């Protein structure tokens, strides 16, 4: 189950075509302007298209689109440099040393079981190795980051001349993992590997929960394993939810209409952005699919 705490950084919103049902899409009610929040993750399979027309309608209604990152203005060279700096231990230690010899051997064996060679990841810290392993495993299962819902929204928003902004920086996003203690990073990597073999079935379960508008199931599928690691939960979920909710609350009642696209795991559970907004007096309602 913990594998999904890494996978949710990459798999896109559960936006498969289907009958009229709930979506990971909510509207803030009682404001002068129109603010919609779309749950996303970050990569999709071709079979998960087309997007529900309600998503297109949400984009059409927006003057400005907010995402976790300002994806249309990200400089690839700067982004690569940021990742390269954070992914390596500042003291020069490599992954086998950071994990310890026993854990490293176990990790290599786990990787071999799913057809992944961990040797190229030796120069990096455990959190980054977990992220790369997740992406490689999802690639094996047919997921394509270029088909992620954010990428599609960026393309469509540019065509429509809509401004795109970010709620956080890439450096800030990655530091949510890079700032974890060595023990938390080690657990993050080892459990990611342990559960990588079953991610195909688990992703299908999450997609089914999205199609059914089953928020409790989304909470259970996405967050149960993260909650078992309090340090990871605080850094990856709670603190970022607090920052997201504050930024979103500041947009309510101004003269612009917004579509806000953030990871689905930030919109479910008792500490969700939706619940934090409610504490600030901003209630939301789910938007139905077409």
pLDDT digits 0-9 by tens, 74-124: 999 999 999 999 999 999 999 999 999 999 999 999 999 999 999 999 999
Q: Are the beta carbons of 127 and 178 closer than 8 angstroms?
A: yes
For residue 228, the enclosing domain spans: 3-288
Give the tens place of pLDDT for each residue, 18-50.
Answer: 333 467 899 999 999 999 999 886 777 778 777
Q: Considering its fold, how many domains does the chain have in total?
A: 1
pLDDT at 10 over 50: no
DSSP code at position 51: P
Most confident of 45-59, 83-97, 141-155, 260-274: 83-97
Tokens of residue 187, six digits: 């657990």
Closest alpha carbon to 178 in 136, 215, 131, 117: 131
Q: Is 103 exposed, middle or buried (0-12, 13-18, 19+ CB in 10 A)?
A: middle
User: Is the pLDDT confidence value at 59 over 70?
Assistant: yes
Q: Give the predicted TM-score (pTM) of the model.
A: 0.88
Question: Residue 18 has what pLDDT?
Answer: 33
Q: Residue 211 has what pLDDT?
A: 61
Cα-Cα-Cα-Cα dihedral of 266, 267, 272, 278, to 10°?
A: 140
The residue ranking higher by pLDDT, 154 or 218, is 154
Among 93-97, 199-203, 225-229, 252-256, which stretch is predicted with the lowest mean pLDDT? Answer: 199-203
- Amino acid 155: pLDDT: 92
């Amino acid at each position: 189950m913990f594998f999904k705490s890494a996978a949710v950084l990459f798999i896109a919103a559960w936006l498969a075509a289907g009958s009229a049902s709930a979506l990971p899409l909510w509207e803030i009610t009682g404001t002068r302007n129109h603010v919609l929040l779309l749950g996303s993750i970050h990569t999709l399979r071709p079979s998960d298209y087309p997007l529900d027309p309600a998503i297109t309608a949400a984009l059409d209604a927006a003057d400005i689109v907010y995402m976790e990152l300002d994806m249309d203005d990200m400089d690839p060279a700067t982004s690569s440099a940021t990742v390269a700096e954070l992914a390596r231990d500042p003291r020069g230690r490599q992954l086998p040393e950071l994990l310890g010899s026993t854990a490293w051997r176990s990790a290599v064996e786990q990787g071999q079981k799913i057809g992944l060679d961990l040797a190229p990841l030796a120069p990096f810290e455990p959190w980054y190795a977990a992220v790369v392993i997740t992406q490689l495993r999802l690639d094996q299962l047919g997921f394509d980051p270029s088909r992620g819902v954010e990428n599609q929204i960026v393309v469509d928003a540019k065509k429509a001349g809509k401004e795109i902004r970010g709620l956080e920086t890439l450096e800030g996003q990655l530091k949510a993992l890079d700032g974890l203690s060595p023990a938390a990073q080690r657990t993050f990597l080892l459990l990611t590997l342990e559960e990588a073999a079953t991610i195909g079935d688990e992703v299908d379960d999450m997609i089914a929960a999205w199609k059914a508008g089953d928020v409790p199931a989304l909470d259970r599928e996405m967050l149960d394993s993260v909650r078992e690691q309090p340090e990871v939960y605080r850094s990856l979920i709670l603190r970022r939810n607090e920052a997201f909710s504050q930024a979103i609350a500041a947009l309510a009642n101004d003269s612009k209409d917004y579509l806000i696209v953030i990871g689905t795991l930030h919109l479910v559970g008792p500490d969700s952005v939706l619940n934090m907004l409610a504490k600030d007096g901003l209630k939301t309602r789910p938007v139905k699919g077409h």
